[in-house]
Amino acid sequence: MCVERLAGSWPGKALTTVELYRLIDEAQENRSPEERIRAVVGMGESGDPRVVTPLIACCRDPDAELRRYATEALHKLRSGRAVSALIERLRDRSEQPATRQRAAAALALIRTYDAVEELKERLSDTGESDNIRSYISDVIRKAAIR
């Protein structure tokens, strides 16, 4: 599934409260994976802080693809409330590399103490994959984190 294709279905307008809560319900209900992903993308596009908590829940979903889109949505929202969930995604070595990278990028943008410390810890962990360490090094450099 292509995020760009999904993102095009959500114009840059603010969603009404009813529309926003409909998306939250769709993401959490027992619907098709495509419908849930579309809802998660819409929540990320909304820019509304009310979607952070439901997106955090989606980061813990059994569906790896939904977790990836939820992590991407949290990256767009840059909320400090998401730091713990993003750290979980980054630490999970069985997680898809794209999800882990997006979690690292989000943590670099959020820049809370815990977020920065986690990035530094992953970077210095010699047991971590070279690809993830290299990616973290890049996001730390781009975010000018010391």
Q: What is the DSSP letter of 12?
A: S
Residue with tokens 């997106």: 55
Using N-to-C axis directions, what is the helix angle for 64-77 and 97-110, rounded to 10°? 20
Domain boundary among 77, 96, 114: 77
- Cα separation, 34 vs 67, in Å, equals 13
Share of the chain above pLDDT 90, in %: 82
Residue 117's domain spans which residues?
Answer: 79-146
Amino acid sitting at position 30: N
Mean pLDDT value of segment 100-125: 97
Tokens coding 101: 């990278």
**Is 110 found in the same domain as 50?**
no
Query: Residue 87: is its pLDDT beyond 90?
Result: yes
Question: Domain check: are 37 and 84 in the same one?
Answer: no
Q: Which of 47, 77, 107 is the C-terminal boundary of a domain?
A: 77
Q: Would the pTM of this model clear 0.85, i.e. be above it?
A: yes
Which of 77, 100, 132 is where one domain is finished? 77
Residue range 21-65, pLDDT digits in tens: 999 999 988 889 999 999 999 999 999 999 999 999 999 999 999
Whether 63 and 92 share a structural domain: no
What is the predicted pLDDT for the residue at 77?
96
- Let me know whether 62 and 50 are in one domain: yes
Q: Domain of 104: which CATH number?
A: 1.25.10
Both 14 and 43 in a single domain? yes
Going by C-alpha positions, the residue among 145, 56, 69 that lies closest to residue 108 is 145
Banded model confidence at residue 16, pLDDT cuts 50, 70, 90:
confident
Q: Quick one: 71 and 46 in the same domain?
A: yes
| Count of the separate structural domains present in the chain | 2
For residue 35, CA distances in Å to 10, 115, 120 come to: 14, 31, 36
